[in-house]
Structures are given as structure tokens and as C-alpha cells.
A = this chain, B = another copy of it.
Amino acid sequence: METDSSPSNSTIYDVAKLAGVSIATVSRVLNGHSHLKDSTRALVLQSVKELQFVPNNAARGLSSGSKRVIGLLFVRTQSEDFLEIVQESLLFTDSVIRGAERAASEQGYSLLLGGVESDRQAETVDRMISMCDGLVLLDRTLSDREVPVIARRVPTVLLAGNGRARSAFTVRVDNAEAMSRIAHHLVLEHARTRLAFLSGFAASPDSQARREGFVRGALECGAVVEDDPLWFSDYTSSGAVQVIERRVATGAPLPQAIACANDQAAIGAIHALKRSGLRVPRDVAVTGFDDISVARHVSPTLTTVHQPVQQLGTTAVQVLLQALQSPKRTIPLSTVLPTTLMLRQSCGCDQ
């Protein structure tokens, strides 16, 4: 049922006819085969240009088995964030997308986007699988149980996580190590010994690794980290506000420093602390993770961990394409990219 009212493109048959050769020859020219007479090649290319011929990618994929598309699955949030400032900032996912698109394009691949909403997860995942040669999964897109199932069906790279997954390739930064450095800094440079870690989703491998590293670093310096379910949140600014409000309401003295699982949460936390009449960093130091672009514009400027976000996307795609193109070669299961500690005002530095 072709409602083909408008731009019906020409096919390889049209080109062949115009050039007076067979479709096989046209195909060979298009795919850069050798053993072709220069004159016929020129003839074919001339016809291609004349007809504005572009190969039908669906047919190509069907025939060759390679669609030259890689898919990026990310979490699409349903609700808007109440802090416009965060909403408008260049977010993690956006940068990853940019990096991934660039890397894919460099190899002649295209990037297909798949925003996952919880209630239509299966539908989106299936659609992506059917359209892509391989997938990149951002953190929290799929549950730990589902990842192996997907990875068995299509080559998969996990972006983020702790690197322990054995079912798929992983590209990540060393979350734990970075947070350990933050803990050391807060204790040794700013003499904060009563600490807290504001977690992202409890199920997020990134958040888990960050928490684990922070706690370990703190203990190494003889500091303590509050251990209360209250500190588990959801990566959002509003979630962080709630945590702080509830914590303040307990009446107990606040920790001297709060490390947050990401920048959004940190910004929310600072907001809530200020509203409670507390000074940041004087009364409570706050740190983030990601180094989103607004981190240096908020007041106080945010001490955080810079991730090479675009490069995460780029690397994920490169790993995936390697796995796709040379399935036999052994590729490291886990790739770790370096982070940079950005010391700004919110920890007490750079006043």
C-alpha cells in the first residue's frame, strides 16, 4: 500500500537502464569494487548524478544484513524540572548524544535516538533492536536484569555503570575513584568530618559506585558518612530539595559537607539549604558530579567532577563499531575514561 504521491526516488534499475549496464555493475560502482573498467564506472556515476539516485537503505540493509545504524537508548523523563536553570542546561544525555552522533557519522553510520519511558519500555526497545546494528545504553535506561537479555540479541555497549557487567561492553568513568578524591578533599583541605552522600536512584550503578567511593574515601581519612535511607533520592533538583527539607526538619545538626550524586541534585540541595537559612559552603559544603555548564554560573559556583561526556558517547560508539566490524577480535570488555576534579566555591575553595 504505497501512498506514493510525492517524491518517488529512482532505483538501481533506472540507473542501470540509463547507463546501459546491469544492476550488478551499478551496485559494484556504488560499493567501490575493483575490476571495473574506468569508462563504465564513469558512465554509471554520470547516470547516478543525473537521476539524483540515492540507494534505498532499507533494501541495502535487508540484503547485506548491516543497516549502518546504531541506536542510543536513554531515559526520557516525563515531568519537567521545576528549576528552569537546570532544565535549560546542557545535560549529560545531550552531550553523549552529540559525541555518539559524531563518532557514528565518522564511520558512515547514523545514530538513532530512543527515548525510553517506563510504561512503553518494551515497545521502544524492540523498535530499536529491529532498526539498529548495535545499541548504546545509558545508565538507568534498563534494569540490570534486562541488560543481558538485550545484549544477547544485539551487540550492546553500556554507558556508565561499575564495569562489572559481563554481559556487554562497558564504557565509563571511574566514579568511585573520583568520589574518593572528593571525600579526601573535603576532609583534608576543608576539615569537614561529618559527611553525607545524597544518592541518585538506589538502583543506579553510577550512583552506587559514587556512594561507595565516597564512603571509602571518607573512612580512609577518619571521617564519617551519615547512613540513613533519607539520603536516597532520584538525581533531580526537586528530589534533593525534599531530602534537605526532611533532613533539616529532623532538628539534628546537619553534616558539614554533602556530596551529591550529580550536579542537578547539588543545585537543588544548595537551593534548599539557603532557604533554610544556612550558608554554603560556610555551614555546609556541597559538591556535585558531571560539571554541567551551569555549574560555573550558579552561586556559589559548584565544586564537582568533570566527566568527558562527549567523549563517553564517542568512545561507546567506537567500541560498538569495533565489535560490529571485527567480531572475532577481542575487545576489552570495559573502557575507563579519566575525570577531573573541578574545585570551585561550594566546597570552600576559590572564594
Contact = CB atoms under 8 A, between A and B. Distances in A.
A96 B190 CA distance: 42
Interface stretch (A18-26, A53-61, A203-211, A215-223): A53-61
Interface stretch (A80-88, A227-235, A243-251): A80-88
A153 B6 CA distance: 8
Contact of A76 (B54, B58, B88, B101): B101
A48 to B, nearest CB: 10
Contact of A98 (B9, B90, B102, B298): B90
A171 interface: no
A154 interface: yes
B115 A113 contact: no
Interface in A43-95: 52, 54-62, 64-65, 67, 69, 76, 80-81, 84-85, 87-91, 94-95
Contacts of A60: 58, 130
A5 interface: yes
A186 interface: no
A252 interface: no
Interface residues of A, number: 65
Listed residue (A1, A7, A101, A108) with the most chain B CB atoms within 10 angstroms of its CB: A7
A62 B58 contact: yes
A112 B58 CA distance: 14
Given A5-B327, A5-B328, A102 B130 contact: no
Contact of A131 (B64, B110, B298): B110
Contact of A62 (B4, B62, B98, B101): B62
A124 B114 CA distance: 20
A118 interface: no
A327 B126 contact: no
A297 B302 CA distance: 14
Given A80-B310, A115-B101, A294-B297, A65 B7 contact: no
A166 interface: no
A105 interface: yes
Contacts of A294: 293, 297
A102 B131 contact: no
A128 interface: yes
Interface string A292-317: 01101110000000000010000000
A152 interface: yes
A197 to B, nearest CB: 26
B54 A62 contact: no
A135 B90 CA distance: 24
Given A88-B293, A94-B90, A293-B293, A130 B327 contact: no
Given A90-B90, A91-B90, A110 B114 contact: yes
A115 B109 CA distance: 11
Given A64-B1, A130-B54, A154-B7, A101 B88 contact: no
Contacts of A350: none
Contacts of A297: 293-294, 297-298
Listed residue (A85, A87, A94) with the most chain B CB atoms within 10 angstroms of its CB: A94
